[in-house]
A = this chain, B = another copy of it.
Amino acid sequence: MYRQPTITRGEILKATGLNPASLSHCLQNLIAAGVVLRVGEIESRTGRPPDLLRLNPDAAYFVVVDLEASPIRFAVTNLLGDIRYRWEEGDPADAMDVALIAKGVEMVCGPMSRRELDAILAISICRPGIADAEGRVTSVNMGWRQFPFEKKVAAAFDRPVFVENGGRAYVLAEYWLGRARGIDHCVYVEVGKGVGGAIISHGTFFQGRKQAEFGHITIEPDAPDLCKCGKRGCLEAIASSGSIVRQYLEMVRGSQRLPGGINASEVIDRAQRDDPQALAVINRAMRALGLGLSYLMAIFDPELFVLGGYFVGAEDFLLPRLQAELAKYVREWNGPYELAVSRLGLDIGLKGAAALAFHRTLADETLLRTLCQKRVWKSETRKKAG
């Protein structure tokens, strides 16, 4: 029901294989609870005209947090990821702690009515770093080393808390709301402060013992480029935004005066204006990315790569270059594939957290019951008031 704007009973029966009696019972409850709305009838030549049904996206809300963003972004979304309230919070001076998240959540919920606050189903957080089996997170950017993030954050709120790594949240957002809708095998790659991403295959994350670390694939084993991980020649050490700036500064140092605080976008702009050093740096980054994507091609053969980070806004210039590099290493037996740039913009982390919350809610019986009960209670109050 969340995949198309409206649906009929017949379409639901066909898609789910439920028996008609159970479905009618379910729908009656969902409609009574206000989670499903009857939005009209469609014409029918025979018998009773079928109802057009729609999920009520404002039946409940999620509080979503994007710790990958700088400043940190907070939002309240409805069931379908539409953003209703926003808040931003500057990066902390020291390591990020849970109190700062709690403060942001309080701020973003500030303007909400009592009724809306009651309809908050869960809190969903997209974070950087790598979690171990116990949910302890290590992240250079957050200043965490095996920090028991999931436990701490679960203790700080009176609603269920979902936590997911940025790459996985982003690919969920693309799969639910973005370029990867309807695609079975998709890789999302974020090329920004770091290089990361995740793979989705038939709607589920695709990973081994732990999540893939695209950024730390060794692309040029003999390269001098030192990575934050301590090794040399990582994809991230060549293609991240910081690495692009570093390489450009190394190249031009002495040869010309530079404005302080140059960033990756500025290097990309200069490359577009045929600055030879900037072009050399960008070409090297695209070659490294093309090689990295070709490994994923050899191993997964995805239908779609979605690129985020500095590709957003520089699509026309960067995408054909990356495409040409990747094409060098793709074999004739690989299926047709596409490269695309994310269109979810700066909200991708928030949308990803909302996607996570929605999918976890669908899989959680207790939460689904809460969702329905809340609305029953509300419709009763409304009746009393009326």
Listed by A's residue number, 13 A-B pairs whose Cβ atoms lie within 8 Å are A130-B333, A184-B209, A201-B208, A207-B300, A209-B301, A209-B335, A210-B335, A213-B298, A216-B331, A217-B299, A221-B329, A231-B328, A231-B329
A221 partner residues in chain B, CB cutoff 8 A: 291, 328-329
Q: Report chain B residues within 8 Å CB of A184.
A: 209
Residues from chain B with a CB closer than 8 A to the CB of A217 are: 294-295, 298-299
For A54, the chain B residues whose CB sits under 8 A away are none
Which secondary structure characterizes the binding site on chain A?
loop
Residues of B within 8 A of A208 (CB): 185, 199, 201, 206, 299-302
Chain B contacts of A138 at CB under 8 A? 333
Please measure, in the bound complex, the distance between the C-alpha atom of A294 and the C-alpha atom of B213, giving whole angstroms. 11
Q: Does A214 contact B (CB under 8 A)?
A: yes
Indicate how many identical chains form the complex.
Answer: 2
Chain B nearest Cβ from A149, distance in angstroms? 15
Instruction: Give the residue name and chain of the B residue nearest to A207 (CB).
Output: B300
Per-position contact with B for A195-215: 1 when CB-CB < 8 Å, else 0?
000010100001111101110
Given contact pairs A185-B209, A213-B333, a sample of 4 additional A-B residue pairs in the complex whose CB atoms are under 8 Å apart: A209-B301, A210-B335, A217-B299, A218-B294
Selected from B213, B230, B298, B303, the residue in CB contact (under 8 A) with A214 is B298
> Is A229 close to B, CB under 8 A?
yes
Interface residues of A, count at CB 8 A: 38
Min Cβ gap A272→B in Å is 25
A:214-236 near B, CB below 8 Å: 214, 216-218, 221, 229-231
Q: Which of A255-274 contact B (CB under 8 A)?
A: none
The distance in angstroms between the C-alpha atoms of A329 and B230, with both chains bound, is: 10
Residues of chain B with a CB closer than 8 A to A130's CB? 333
Chain A, range 176-195, C-beta contacts under 8 Å to B: 184-185
| Across the A-B interface, the 5 shortest Cβ-Cβ residue pairs | A208-B300, A209-B301, A212-B299, A218-B329, A185-B209
Q: A209 touching B302 by the CB < 8 A rule?
A: yes
Question: Which of B206, B214, B229, B301 sits near A210, CB closer than 8 Å?
Answer: B301
Q: Is the CB of B212 within 8 A of A300?
A: yes
The yes or no answer to A368 lying at the interface (CB within 8 A) is no
Smallest beta-carbon distance A217→chain B, Å: 5
Closest-CB distance, A301 to chain B (whole angstroms): 4
